[in-house]
Chain A
Amino acid sequence: MVENVMHVHGELWTVKELFVLPNEYVYWSIQIVMYPFMTGLVAGAFVLSSLYHVFGVKQLKEIARFSLVFSFALLPVAMMPLLMHLQQPFRGIHVMMTPHFTSAISAFGIVFMAYAFIVASELWFEYRKHFVLTTQALAAQPQRSGFDTLRMHFFKVLTLGAMDISHEAVQKDHNAVKKLASLGIPVACFLHGYAGFIFGSVKANALWMTPLMPVIFICSAVVSGIALCILCYVVTMEIRKFMAKRKISRWSKDPNAPSVEELQSAEQLEIKIVSNYLLYFMIAAITLEILDLIFRGYTQVKSWDILREVIMERDFNKIFIMQYAFGNALPFLLMVLPNRTVRRTTIATVLVMFGVFMMRWNVVIGGQAFSLSFSGFMHYHLPIIPHDWETFREGLGGALLVMATPFVIFYFLNKIFPAFMKEEEAH
């Protein structure tokens, strides 16, 4: 008989082997790998910025402000993969309209909004003085271009009418930032622990179901967030050093602009401290992951036979080589060996981020690599070249789009909230 080609969702990228139930496919694909990866970066970046604000780690001043802006840029991107993966994306708003609170995802909107609100207000307090100064500076210009007038009004609106920049007022801002940052830490951890809970509570999935999942997710989130901040920070500093050398933009007019040497030493100091934090969180994350693995191997419940085959044989390279060796062991060595340099740390952060991405992959895709019948396997083939909308959004294209978006957002946000401000403006 002649049959038209009609694909059930998931069929395009799933290859079944041995006995897999007819309706089983890799339903949660690359976008669901991106989701915990991106929320992890948000949470991690925020935790890093809070280290300075809450615990007063003075040396982290520069990178803290940078991470705060960056975590704000990452925020919208945390829900992008979720929306892109929905079969009915235009109905996404139903989650807000009829949240069904027995479900772990239903509160996502609320948690996410609460968190967004905290980060936004923290940013506002942090940058209020800057808004006021910018407005005043623009207003003082005798001949303003149309664009500058527009900018002036824009910044004026951003101040929300709070133009007082006396010492006390700024001090109050400062206290508010501190309070919001301390409130933000648990909320950021919740936001991400929650992503872990969404997986950990799926009782039908033998690989996912463990109460350790939220904790593992939080630790690896902080790891990836810090790594990303270090990386971006180094890249931006390199650009600034380059500009300082060539006397471009600010360095051509401002005699007080930091010199190459100043930038260099500031960078080295910050990186040194931040990478220590990175190491602590890495140790915690790896310990928990290994504990989970050992526990499964030791208790050997019914699912262990198939899990062992997936973990030790089929996904061995992805788990032990790519995730643990290249994503954990190697960067760990790079950072603990004596005479750690900025360059070595930078390489380590790239590897760390790769490792965390692989961990998300191995959890999300690995959890769907075996059948509920425990008698068959599913292989996931990431669609590389899209031939329709579905293979784009659930393929490499969609993943790259999600990855690139925060940088685009950061570029524009940086114009409003300059992540690297002149000292006298900052507090």
Chain B
Amino acid sequence: MKRRDFMKNTIVAIAGASVPLSALEFIDPREVLAANPEIHWAFLINTYSCVGCGFCVKACKTENDIPFEANASRTWVERYVYTKDDRRYIDSPKSAQYGFTDARIDLGEHLGYQDVDPNNVGKAFFVPKLCNHCATPSCTQVCPVGATYKTDSGPVLVDRSWCIGCGYCIMACPFGARFFHPVLKVVDKCTFCYHRITKGVETACVNACPFGARKMCNIKDINDPVTQIILNERVGVLKDEFGTKPQAFYIGLASEVR
């Protein structure tokens, strides 16, 4: 055999060997969908529109059976008040489930309430928060039994029948989105109202917000007007330094909001 022929044959042999390998590869429709999903849910919060009424929190607690008397919530609203002499106050009394009905700042059991002179307020705003349904969540990573997981379409869920209640995911979430359900004694968190969105209905909080401060979209659908905002406007996410890639985007995020 001539040297050239040998080379040629070798190349043919290699090419031939590689064909059946790839042909054998099994195509799982779920994997294909996961790699190119048509749906990936994202959230958009416009902090300029939020007035701190707390309707979203109320709606969420009602929709998802989180007792009103429990001091924990899947979503909550924070109030930021900065005085002209640079004092900063933040609070979220009862997760703002009844809104902000008191002008005083709630400083916790020990310190009580703080009066703020309305003429001394420099800037003040509200920030609604919820689970960010991060793209690379640290909460699902640490669950020792795989009871909390990320769905193909984005939402991060908890299997209530499998959670052992170790609390590792609560510790791992940099956003304080998780807590123990006071009745069920398993971890609980926002599900993006998975039971609703999968039926084409918007989440309870989006539905309840009278000011359109909360919106949801399929970020894969570039024609979706909300997706358009996320793609074209200046939006930010909370605590990107943790590398969890939050999927809740904010308009008008201040650096003090953590």
Contacts and interface: CB of A to CB of B under 8 A. Distances in A.
Interface in B88-102: 88-92, 94-95
B147 to A, nearest CB: 8
Interface string A373-395: 11110000000000000000000
A204 B168 contact: no
Contacts, number: 164
A149 interface: no
A19 interface: yes
How big is the A interface, by class? 35 or more
B204 to A, nearest CB: 18
B70 interface: yes
B252 interface: no
Interface residues of B, number: 57
Interface centre among B89, B95, B168, B243 (most CB of A within 10 A): B168
A36 to B, nearest CB: 14
A24 interface: yes
A11 B71 contact: yes
Interface stretch (B45-53, B170-178, B195-203, B213-221): B170-178
Given A95-B164, A103-B168, A105-B142, A17 B174 contact: no
B256 to A, nearest CB: 8
B113 interface: no
A19 B163 contact: no
B110 interface: yes
Contact of B145 (A23, A87, A100): A100
Nearest to A371: B176
Interface string A83-94: 001111001101
Nearest to B75: A22
Interface stretch (B6-14, B16-24, B180-188, B225-233): B180-188
A24 B141 CA distance: 20
Interface in A353-411: 371-376
Contacts of A203: 138, 172, 174, 242-243
B176 A8 contact: no
A140 interface: no
Given A17-B107, A27-B171, A372-B174, A22 B242 contact: no
Interface of B: 67-73, 76, 78, 88-92, 94-95, 107-111, 129, 138, 140-147, 162-168, 170-180, 182-183, 185-186, 241-243, 258
Interface of A: 3-11, 15-25, 27-28, 82, 85-88, 91-92, 94-95, 97-100, 102-106, 108, 198, 202-205, 302, 371-376
